[in-house]
Structure 1
C-alpha cells in the first residue's frame, strides 16, 4: 500500500480522534457541519453535511432524506490559514479554530439568490468531529468499511460495474468488451456496495438505505421506491435489472475482493495527478 493510500485510509477512520488543545492544526478526519452564519445570522446547520479532510483531498458528503451524495466541491486540501484574509481583495477560503475535534470554514460567496448564504459576502460554517445523523452514520459505515463477505447473504460486499446488456443471453459475448472498457474508461470504473442496511451507488457517487424484499415471487432489493431483480450469473458475477420506459436492460457487476474501502478508492481518484 502506498503512502498516499495509507493517509487516506487513516483519515477516513471513524474512531475517536486524539484529543488536542491546539486550535491551529490542519483539520484531518470526518466532520459534520453544526452551524452556518449567513443571511439569518448564526443558525443550526440547515443541511446534513460532512467534510472528509485528508492530506490529499477534501470531499463533501451531503445527506438528503434516506440518500447521500459525495462530491469534490472544494477542489483543495484544507490547511490552517487563520481567520483574516491577506487584504480586502483576498477572497481565499479560510480555515481556523481547527484541530482533530473541530474547525471553522470561512468562504466568499460570489453567487446570488441563495436561501441562506449572503450575496457577495463571507459565509461561515462550523464543523465538529464524531457527529452523525442516523443516515450519515450508515453512509460512512458503508464507504469506510472493508468489503463484506457473508455466506448467508452472498450479495453483501463491493461490486465493480462492468457494463450493460439488453439480454442476459448476450453476456458471454459482450464480456470481453466490457472488461476492456472497464480498464480504459472511467465511466465503467464505478462500484456498488451492498451492506446489511446500506446500499451505495458510487457510479453517481450516491447512495441510500436498501431493504431486501420479495418481488414477483423472487428475491430482490428495494432502494427508496425502486425495486430491482438480481440474477446470479456465477458466484462472483451478477446482473441487476434496469427497467427503462418499456424495456428491460441488465447491469453486469463483478465482485471486488481487493480489501480497499470505497472512500479510499474514490479519494485516491480525486488526488491531483491521479484523475483520468
Structure 2
C-alpha cells in the first residue's frame, strides 16, 4: 500500500468510528462486558487504544506500534488483566479491520486490473497481519517480562523477611535461620548479612542454624564464603545449633567453618555467655 492509500484507509475507519467501535464490541463479547470495568480499574480505554493500534498497523509505523505494544503489555500486567481477554480483543480488532478494508475496497478500487488488484490485496493482507502479529508478540514479551520482574521482586521481599537479623545490643545481632536453604536463598542471606553488618555496625553476628533441616553441597560452600565475607567486614561470626545431620555431611565433605566462625551448642548458651560477660 502506498502512503496516500494507507492514510486514506485510516481516515476511512476514523470517519466510521462509531460503527467501527460497535462492530468491534460485537466481535468481542467477553471484552465488551468488561470494557467499563477495565477503564475504571486500569484507566485503559480499549476503544481509543484499538483505534491507535489500527492506525499504526495500517500506516506501517512499526516503531510506534512496538512502543505502544510494550506500554500495553506493562499496563495489562500491572492491573492483572488476563491474556485471554487481550487475545479475544486483538483478534476482534483483526476481523473488524478486515471488514472495513473490504468496505473501503468496494468504494475505492474499481478500475484496477485483476493482477493489480490481487497484488494490492496480497500486500495489504501481509502488512495488516504482520503488524497485528508484531503487536501481539511484543505485547506478550512485555507482559511476561513485567510479570517475571514483579514475581522476582515479591520473592526477594519474602526472602528478605525470612532473614531476620535481630539486634540484641548496640553491636550484637542474632540471625535465626529456618527451613531449607537453596542457592537462591543463600544469595539473599549473603546480601542481607553484609548490608546489615555495614548499616547496623554489627560487631558480632550470632547465626542459629537449629532450624535448618539440610544444606546442599553448593550451599555449604557458599555459606563458607559468606562467613569469610563477615570476617572481612571486621565482624565476628558465631554459629549455634548445628544439627547432627549437617555436621555429618560437612565431615564427609571435609568442610569446616572453624576458620571464619566460632561454634556453640545452643543459642541460649551463647546469649548467656555474651550477656554474663557484658554484666561483669
Higher relative contact order (CA 8 A, sep 6+): 1
Q: TM-score, normalised by structure 1?
A: 0.22
Scaled by the length of structure 2, what TM-score is found? 0.22
Structure having the higher strand fraction is: 1
